[in-house]
Amino acid sequence: MGYSVTHRIETDVDTLWQLFFDERVVRAMLEQLGNPADYKIVEQRVDDQGLQHRTIECWSKVQLPSLITKVFGDGSYTEYGCYDSVAKKYTARCVPKQNGDKVGTKFEITASPIGDGSHCERKVTVENTVNVFGLGSVISSLLERGQRASHDQSAKFLNEWLRSQRG
Nearest to 61 by CA among 90, 34, 22: 34
Categorize the per-residue pLDDT at 12 as very low, low, confident or very high, splitting at 50, 70 and 90.
very high
From CA 82, how far away is CA 132, in angstroms rounded?
A: 28
From CA 21, how far away is CA 25, in angstroms rounded?
A: 8
Are 156 and 164 spatial neighbours (Cβ–Cβ below 8 Å)? no
Q: Does position 63 have pLDDT exceeding 80, yes or no?
A: no
Categorize the per-residue pLDDT at 1 as very low, low, confident or very high, splitting at 50, 70 and 90.
low
Q: Does position 68 have pLDDT exceeding 90, yes or no?
A: no
pLDDT tens, position by position, 94-106: 999 988 898 899 9
Provide the terminal-to-terminal Cα distance of the chain, rounded to the nearest Å: 42
pLDDT tens, position by position, 109-157: 999 999 999 999 999 999 999 898 888 888 888 889 888 998 999 999 9
What domains lie within the chain, and their CATH numbers? 2-166 (3.30.530.20)
For CA atoms 3, 154, 55, 88, the dihedral sign is positive
Give me the percent of the chain exceeding a pLDDT of 90. Answer: 62
Per-residue model confidence (pLDDT) at position 52? 97
pLDDT tens, position by position, 29-58: 888 876 657 889 999 999 999 999 999 998
For the chain, give the number of residues.
167
Per-residue model confidence (pLDDT) at position 117? 95
Provide mean pLDDT across the span 68-91: 89
Q: In the predicted model, what is the mean pLDDT of the chain?
A: 90
Name the residue type at position 59: W
Beta-carbon count within 10 A of 90 CB: 21
Categorize the per-residue pLDDT at 60 as very low, low, confident or very high, splitting at 50, 70 and 90.
confident
Give me the percent of the chain exceeding a pLDDT of 70. Answer: 94
Q: Give CA separation, 153 vs 33, 42, 146, 148, 157, in Å.
A: 7, 26, 11, 9, 6
